[in-house]
Structure 1
Amino acid sequence: MPVVGDFYDFSSILSEQERSHLAALREYLEREVRPIVTEHWVNATFPRELVRGLADAGATGFAWPETRRFENSAVFRGFITIELGRIDASVATYIGVQNGLVMGTLGVCGSEAQRAEWLPKLNSGEVVGAFGLTEPLSGSDSAQGLRTTAKREGDHWVLNGRKRWIGNATISDVTIIWAKDADDGNVKGFIVPNDTPGFTATKIENKQSLRIVQNADITLENVRVPHELKLEHANSFRDTAKVLRLTRAEVAWGAVANAIGAYEVALAYAKAREQFGKPIAGHQLVQDLLTKSLGNITASLAMCVRVSQMLDEGTQRDEHSALAKAYATARMREAVAWCRELFGGNGIVSEYDVVRFFADAEALYSYEGTREMNTLIVGRAITGHAAFV
């Protein structure tokens, strides 16, 4: 049975095995995750006990031969994000970092030996990972403005610098650190165990979006990393961009998932809440809010499905994932606002859930490339002119 927000039943294009796996994952999420997420969101804590459970339930690893359980499509992997994000955007973001950014980096940029060592450990939850690209003074301009440095000294690299907004960093065992080679100026990637001397991760407090995600400031002070932990195929920002091309499309799926989560709780509330002698679901203006939200969800989901099909076909380009991310997050922002509006005053109380989706939308709208930056990526592709500076 498709999720409530999949109005056109896009999931029907999946194989029977893929649909069966999604149903089992949904059952786990409804039983183990939904009952506890609001408390963790309010307290800004991460339920570390779910790491192995999420892995066992099959939320990770499907893109890589080393961890793949069965042949699957990129559309199926997008629907895994739907199942996660309709429960909670923070849980989906945790998996997005673990499965997309960290395992994605190993899958795209790691050597055969690095893939064989790390991908199974990350897939099982034995190791939790983080992805260190963004810096205090470098976000949208990471391609040129990266300030963290790496200096080769014999069979080690010495890393110095700072990172910011690094998801999972206070609960992770290893962090992928992107740094500029002090000798050739190219961006390179490193697998850095968090217990390496000179590595410090400090939780960012007082977030009002994605509160369950443990974002951190990272300081690197003469962190010595063995050469074998330098990612073999991460030798320029073009290699970093290969990872981001994949995960940017995942964020578009995450935006749809967040909107679906808000829509589902709004629809249930509308059917249960009575005013003027009948459920508010029977009032025209409430139906208008629900229909507009569903329209945004359906249009965005159609775009995500096609972008993922292009990934399977080998035709997806940066501008395709950029347009999906920019469009889906903007439409999500509208939809969650309409869903929150439907609740009236109850919509700002955490026990009614919709406020989580409303607040979390702001982070999804901004991370993995702002709407403006993704617009410029698309704009360059369709006009032939770069307008970044």
Structure 2
Amino acid sequence: MSGVPGLPTPTGPYLDGGLLPADFYAFEELLSDREREKIASIRDFLRTQVAPIVDGYWAKAEFPFQLVEGFAKLGLVDWADPDSSESRPSNLLAGFVAMELAHADASLATFFGVHTGLAMGTILSCGSDEQKRRWLPAMSRFEKIGAFGLTEPHGGSDVAGGLQTTARRDGDGWILDGAKRWIGNATFADLIVIWARDVETKHVLGFVVEKDTPGFTATKIENKMALRIVQNADIVLDGCRVPEANRLQNANSFKDTAEILRRTRSGVAWQAVGIMFGAYEIALQYAKEREQFGRPIGGFQLVQDLLVKMLGNATASCGMVTRLAQLQDAGVYQDEQSSLAKAYCTVRMRESVGWGREILAGNGIVLDYNIGRFVADAEAIYSYEGTREIQTLIVGRAVTGGLSAFVK
């Protein structure tokens, strides 16, 4: 080999028109010229700023804070500022952004998704006009980072019915008590959306807890084998007092929470596509350069079989999420369509990264060759924002005309 293969770059084996090798059916050409320029700027940022350092930060399980300014300069969420003249991007463009980020690194895609999709998305959907103006401008410039606190130590798939964090009205504020787990960005976030159950009405309410609020503690979860750059935290809320002004005025039941998750679930499917794209391109590059028995291993039938299966998974999944984004942009998509995409694409992703590691053989478990990071991170993407089993039950209920197989 001529050196260790890294992330594919624009100087590599791109198809005609500058498309990624994994974009075999040229889905990116569905974007407008302006949208493709935006993707090109993201791709350049990832190639020049992320690729050279990402393995080191993944190994150390640390977050590269110097990249935050770069995210801000990309202007990906300028539109969220209530005073901005920017229009909201199409769901198709948003999907390609999520895919492109995951194509480089799933942890940074997760950081971005938590900040923009979950935290900012909640404030956009559930905040009052005053709350949007108070928080979103700084968040859109990445001057304040957001987190989203829903999952609890004893509540994952059953968080809707098992939410134990409580909110008690106390004069002109609220007292929050409880615990949250797996909260991305929470160790350094400035604003954390916390979902809690009103002890009086039993309704689920949303609150924005600002860092350094007395009674709020976030402790980093150590020893993760996946998404190691993401700073997940265990959160403890012990008599945490939040003013009424920080209660999200339009978050009044778990239906509001579920609407946020419904919107972001498709983004996870796009991340799965990005991981497949990245893993395929690493494996393809390696197969062209690695020689055994006097020739590149890409010339052997069994290696080509693995490459084609990886490409088929990536292409089918990209077709699914592209059509889903078109339905979203048309305003006619259903929750179960997002669930099917999340379930299907993450299963195909898990298969594909395994085949990619197989092509790299022993080198596939060395971080320097990149594919191992994709294999490990895929395990987290496979499970978060709703397991395959839960997504399957959502789709199953829809296709059987409402016959629910959920445990009562």
Q: Deviations along 1:184-229, whole A, 9 cap, x unmatched?
A: 1011100000210000000000000000000000000011111011
Matched, 1:164 2:164: no
Distance 1:66 1:5 in 2: 38
* Aligned counterpart, 1:224: 241
User: How big is the shift at 1:273?
Assistant: 0.8
8 Å contact 1:66–1:119 — kept in the other structure? Answer: no
Write out the 4+ residue segments of structure 1 that deviate beyond 4 Å after TM superposition. Answer: 61-68
- Map of 1:386 onto structure 2: 404
Q: Confirm or deny that 1:215 pairs with 2:232.
A: yes
1:260 deviates by 0.9
Alignment correspondent of 2:276: 259
Letter in structure 1 aligned against 2:64:
P
1:200 aligns with 2:217: yes
| Structure 1 residue matching 2:394: 3-state secondary structure | helix
Could you tell me how far apart the structure 1 residues matched to 2:374 and 2:80 are?
27
What's 1:247 paired with? 264
Q: How many residues align?
A: 389
Q: What is the root-mean-square deviation of aligned Cα atoms in Å? A: 1.2
Partner residue in 2 for 1:39:
56
1:1-389, aligned counterparts within 5 Å?
A: 1-61=18-78, 69-70=86-87, 72-383=89-400, 384-389=402-407
Cα 1:231/1:350, change in 2 over 3 Å: same
Write the letter of the residue equivalent to 2:373. Answer: R
Deviation sequence 1:210-251 (CA, Å, 0-9, x none): 000000000000111110110111110000011001110000
Which letter does structure 2 place at the counterpart of 1:205?
E
Which amino acid in 2 is paired with 1:387?
A
Deviation for aligned residue 1:7: 1.0
Normalization by structure 2: what TM-score?
0.93
Task: Give the whole-Å Cα distance in 2 for the aligned partners of 1:277 and 1:111.
Answer: 67
Comparing 336-345 with 1-10, which one deviates more in the overlay?
1-10
Deviation, structure 1 residue 282: 1.2
User: In 2, are the aligned partners of 1:149 and 1:161 still within 8 Å (CA)?
Assistant: yes
Q: Secondary structure at the match of 2:363?
A: helix
- CA shift, 1:382, in A, is 1.1
Q: Which residue of the partner structure matches residue 14 of structure 2?
A: none
CA distance, structure 1, for counterparts of residue 326 and residue 272 of structure 2: 18
TM-fit CA distance, 1:4: 2.0
> Contact 1:60–1:95 (CA<8 Å) still a contact in 2?
no
Q: Which residue type is aligned with residue 405 of structure 2?
A: A
Assess if the C-alpha contact under 8 Å between 1:169 and 1:175 holds in 2. yes
Unaligned runs of 5+ in 2: 1-17
State the alpha-carbon separation in 2 of the partners of residues 353 and 68 from structure 1: 40
Kindly provide the CA deviation profile for residues 146-186 of structure 1, in whole angstroms up to 9, marking residues without a partner as x: 00000111210110000000001101111000000111101
Following superposition, the deviation at residue 69 of structure 1 comes to 3.5
Amino acid of the structure 1 residue aligned with 2:266? A
